[in-house]
Structure 1
Amino acid sequence: MIAGVLKEKTGEHRVSLVPEVVKQLIQQSVTVWVEPGAGALAFYPDEAYTQAGAIIKPAADIIQEANLLLSMHLPASPLWETIPEGKMLAGIYQPLYNAGLIQEAAARKLTLFSLDSIPRTTRAQSMDVLSSQANIAGYKAVLLAAYTYSRYFPMFMTAAGSIAPAKVLILGAGVAGLQAVATARRLGAVVEVFDTRPAVKEEVMSLGARFVEVEGAADASAAGGYAVEQTPEYKQRQEARIAESAVKADIVITTAQIPGKKAPVLITDAMLDKMRPGSVIVDLAAATGGNTAQTQNDTTIQHNGITIIGNSNLAAAMPADASKLYARNMFNFLQLVIRNGQATPDFEDDIVQGACITHNGAVTNERVKALGVAAV
């Protein structure tokens, strides 16, 4: 079979496969074609792919002849319209937020494997693209905040006077949030963390941060690391506690998302009005609406002296390592799809079932169907 690696859309610097993973696939009797320049922005030149055994081919040839198309995002027009019926694709397609594209893919009898839909089980950890990319995003969010912030992060005691450490508030203690905690602490900040899941308290405290507790949260254990809808009474208590911390914070990192729904607004206009001028907010939930009332996706704005950075794609700002980790996740997943050099997905496997969004003209993923994306 032929696996084809496509160049990503403008603004995405990562690539689906890196040369070392290409070499491993070739050892499994898979032919790998790579679009010219596909890895250039991640610092993997075409020469590295050819040395690994790949063949450089135009995108049009890859789309028509490859059995499996690999791109982190669905190809942009006009390439998208040229993909033949029945083709197999794998990437991060966010099916819960892209109902129209999913319906179109089903109508064209494309088989879509979206790795962000893989069940987050122990067996699937090596394929968990959400975790590998969120880890990078949490790290980069703190570095971006430190670069933007007009003061020091650590405490300094000098002959000219003392500088108090920065106060960092992190909303959400998933993979991105915990990495943000660790990074902010390494930079010398005082860190508080809010999360609806009491189970993460121990992890937060082990990293040297204070956990902000609000009692009465709905159980989020089955939400795959995301937030869940809460009761009105809980939201009132939550808002009051977050407000107390937000008005004292110099830096806020927000990460809360709810699958298939708009991200919850955790930082209201009233809170923003009371925050210190010069404060910085980095909103990693910007692509799904944002956790602040003023967040704009892929945009940095000034609001009453506060810098609000809306960026859900920070992992792409570290494309070399992000691509390396993603490619390893992809390789591990493909072990369930490719056998003896041929594409033979085991649709009885729970991981393959979870990742498969459309197949044979129908939407197959139960979570996507539950949101009203009908079979074709």
Structure 2
Amino acid sequence: MAQRGTTGEYDTRHLGGEAIHAFVPHPLPPNPGPEVTGQRARMHEQALVACGRLDSITQLLPEPDLFLYAYIRREALVSSQIEGTQSSFSDLLLFELDEAPGVPFDDVVEVSNYIAALTHGLYRLRSGFPLSNRLIREMHELLLARGRGAEKQPGEFRRSQNWIGGTRPGNAQFVPPPPDYVEDAMAALEVFLHDENLPFSALIKAALAHVQFETIHPFLDGNGRIGRLLIALTLHQDGILHEPLLYLSLYFKQNRAEYYRLLDTVRYDADWEAWLDFFLEGVRTTATGAVETANRLVALFQEDAARIHSLGRSAPNTLRVFNAFRSRPVASIKDIRRRTGVAAPTAGRAIDALEELGIVEEITGRQRDRIFVYRRYLNILNEGAEPL
């Protein structure tokens, strides 16, 4: 083994007749640890303050589950887009209706799998289960349960060599550790995630753990998506956020080239500080943006509810149907009836009223099996989530 840099070593082996230089990271934390002083300390403080504001507003929202529903779906969509899917928010919501043929299955099922994996992770943490390799494997099994990647050992650490970029390990941009290192490397990462004596905050811990996970690349597929989930779950587990609403996928998507470059600067140059600057700025802007989105959604719902109250006697039933659109902004009459318990004629009249007010619109152009969308709500959720 020839040592290079301070974050890992190279293991050189022969595979398919050519020499493969696989990178094996040292266990965390780095030694010496990253410097969080001066301007970086100020960035760290600003990021923590932004997380505090996000945590506060989610505690004050009248219905935080609505916000969580929307944000989980946007995160799933954007994180999957980074991996090449082309689904839109509308595609996902139509797919979840189970009544909309023609939605691109392979792409949207990947997003749906991501939601299942994230939801499972949150449920397990809230039930007292630790953030652990077992939980990571459980989420990975759900992530690759259907569609593309279902043959890539869902829920299991890889038993063969993988690589990033290029057509084979010999010409790859980056070659993660050989498979016989993966179990030990992931066990060390789990120990790090539960180390209560680290000389830095959970925010720094999440930043370091993300790079380490992506460097180990323990699965044959889905590493990027699980690695991004790991950030939110770490912050939730360590009490930075009561609700796991900080998702950096949009920031990584908007800065993809810099994101990948900085992962490499850690691996090859041990430049944790440059990565931390990028990560902390992402946390600050993402948390601030989430607070702004929450405020905009609350204002939108209040404005539209006030317009419905002006309808007089029909207002109560119309509000019931409107509330169903708030919880899921794409719906059919059958779906509305199932979720509100109102009769078909009542649901139809309420939707007609919402159309008259310009709150919802019909999107199929059909006379039967029509589907309606709460357009302004969907537009807010869709910002930044357009396919690449």
TM-score scaled by structure 1? 0.23
Higher RCO structure, 1 or 2 (CA under 8 Å, sep 6+): 2
Query: Greater helix percent: which structure?
Result: 2
Greater strand proportion: 1
Q: Which has the larger radius of gyration?
A: 2
Q: Normalised by the size of structure 2, how large is the TM-score? A: 0.22
